[in-house]
Amino acid sequence: MPWGVWLYDLSMFTSPSTNQTASKTPLPFVRIAALLFVTAMSLGLAACGNKESLQATATSDKKVNPAPVLEDPSATGRELITKWLTALKDRNLESIDEQLAPNFQIRRANGSTADKAQYLQSPAVVTSFELSEKFVGLQHGQTLSLNWAIKVDQIIDGVTYSNSEAPRMTSFEWNTDKWQIVAYANFNAPATVTTTTSTTTPTTTTTAG
């Protein structure tokens, strides 16, 4: 109910002589001011409500594309890893960039690490690869974790690594419309060769690429 309804004409509380004067001078300005105040308050509350509604809508829009529920996470994981290794083999920097999440990190057997920007400066050089038959993929919501192994001929930071089968751990995250690599663990050791000294004592050295 508008506040102006509660503002009574003062004529009912005045003397007859005053009543004649008061009745000739109603309180339109007071009532109008009250109505304007109520209107302004209503508009202000409506604006706040609209702002919160828009913010809620914007937030919900970011969550409208959940990850697909994979029928076979292991098979999908194998496809994703094959795509990743093929991009490295072909030196396709655009594809490598697209497959890495913004918060990507890698950890290698030699202790070295890299984030996305650092990795893109010097991606691994892959000449050939063979995935192991054992490939385990697990999905939970927006994430996909992979436990796998590989035989690969590769050079990392100028060092040639062993092509014997070595394990890998890889985590993917569904970002808007695609799977991207978030974390990558490489357990492959640098390649070694055995030489024989004059006393026939075997020694091991690291081969540089």
Which H or E run contains 29? helix 28-61
pLDDT tens-digit series, residues 90-142? 999 999 999 999 999 999 988 899 999 999 999 999 999 999 999 999 999 99
Q: Whole-prediction pTM value?
A: 0.62
pLDDT given for residue 208 in this prediction: 28
Q: Which long-range contacts (CB under 8 A, 24 or more apart) does 29-35 make?
A: 30/4, 31/4, 31/7, 32/4, 34/2, 34/3, 34/4, 34/7, 35/2, 35/3, 35/4
Whether the Cβ atoms of residue 179 and residue 72 lie closer than 8 Å to each other: no
What is the mean pLDDT of the segment spanning 159-188?
92
pLDDT value at residue 201: 42
Copy the structure tokens of residue 29.
């300005």
Name the least confident of 46-50, 67-71, 77-81, 157-161.
46-50
Instruction: Choose among 66, 209, 71: nearest CA to 143.
Output: 66
> What amino acid is encoded at 61 in this protein?
D
